[in-house]
Structures are given as C-alpha cells and as structure tokens.
C-alpha cells in the first residue's frame, strides 16, 4: 500500500482567489500567508528541485486548498490547526508532519525536502 502525503495550502481553490494569491506573492512576498506555496513554487510554476523530489518519491502526493480539505475531511474532530499543513495518511489515520509554525521556520525548499525525508523514512 502506497503511503500518501497531503499538502494543504492556506488558500482557496476558486480562480479569483488563485489570481489574488499570485499577485500577493509577487507584490508583497513577506506578507504572503501560505509558506508551503512559497517554499514549493516560484511566482509562476513549481520549483524544479521540488518537482524532481515529488516525482521520484515512493509516496503519493496530494495537494489541496483550504476549502477542499475542510469539505473532504468534515469528520475531523480537531479543526483548530492553522494552515498550511502537511500530513501523512495511512488508511483512515492522519498523522501531522508539519504544522504552519514548522513550515514558517523553513528557509528553503531544500530544507523542506530534508525534513520530509527524515519524517517519512
């Protein structure tokens, strides 16, 4: 059974919000509210080192926006977490790997990759 990593962005999935998020990230990156997106993506596309890691991993990667996650996982009892988050799902069990505070402490996509390798190995 392949293990799945979920990456939940602190952003909404509709086209208008995606557009506004892109502008915000370019105009004022220091105040952009999704550290996960800032780590894994440049202004216009996924970072090459991240894409290479993702494509060569033994894990399945699932990316969700805030609204998609909350709509899908309505049964979660504890919804007090801040986004973005990364969690691992095995069957119905969800294990938090990184919370928003942990993600905000990372300085590069390479640090994220190294932390993920340690957590999931």
pLDDT at 46 over 80: yes
Average pLDDT, the chain: 78
Residue 72 confidence (pLDDT)? 82
pLDDT at 91 over 70: yes
Instruction: For residue 121, give both structure tokens.
Output: 């190995």
pLDDT band at 56 (very low <50, low <70, confident <90, very high): very high
- Rounded to an integer, the average pLDDT of 15-30 is 61
Q: How far apart are CA 103 and CA 82, in angstroms?
A: 11
Instruction: Calculate ∠ Cα 59-76-98, nearest 5°.
Output: 45
Q: Answer for the pair 89, 4: CB distance below 8 angstroms, yes or no.
A: yes
| Closest C-alpha to 99, from 76, 77, 83, 121 | 83
pLDDT at 75 over 70: no
Residue 111 confidence (pLDDT)? 93
For the four alpha carbons of 66, 68, 72 and 74, in that order, the dihedral sign comes to: positive
Of residues 88 and 37, more confidence is placed in 88
Which residue ranges make up each domain of the chain? Answer: 4-120
Instruction: For residue 36, give both structure tokens.
Output: 């996960």
3-state helix, strand, coil in the chain (%, to 5): 45, 20, 35
């Amino acid at each position: 059974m392949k293990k799945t990593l979920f990456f939940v962005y602190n952003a909404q999935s509709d086209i208008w919000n995606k557009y506004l998020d892109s502008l915000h990230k370019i105009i004022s990156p220091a105040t952009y509210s999704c550290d996960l997106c800032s780590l894994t993506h440049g202004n216009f596309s996924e970072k090459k080192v991240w894409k290479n890691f993702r494509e060569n991993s033994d894990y399945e990667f699932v990316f969700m926006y805030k609204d998609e996650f909350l709509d899908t996982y309505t049964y979660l009892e504890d919804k007090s977490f801040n986004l973005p988050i990364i969690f691992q799902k095995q069957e119905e069990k969800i294990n938090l790997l990184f919370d928003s505070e942990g993600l905000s402490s990372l300085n590069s996509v390479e640090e994220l990759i190294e932390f993920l390798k340690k957590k999931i190995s």
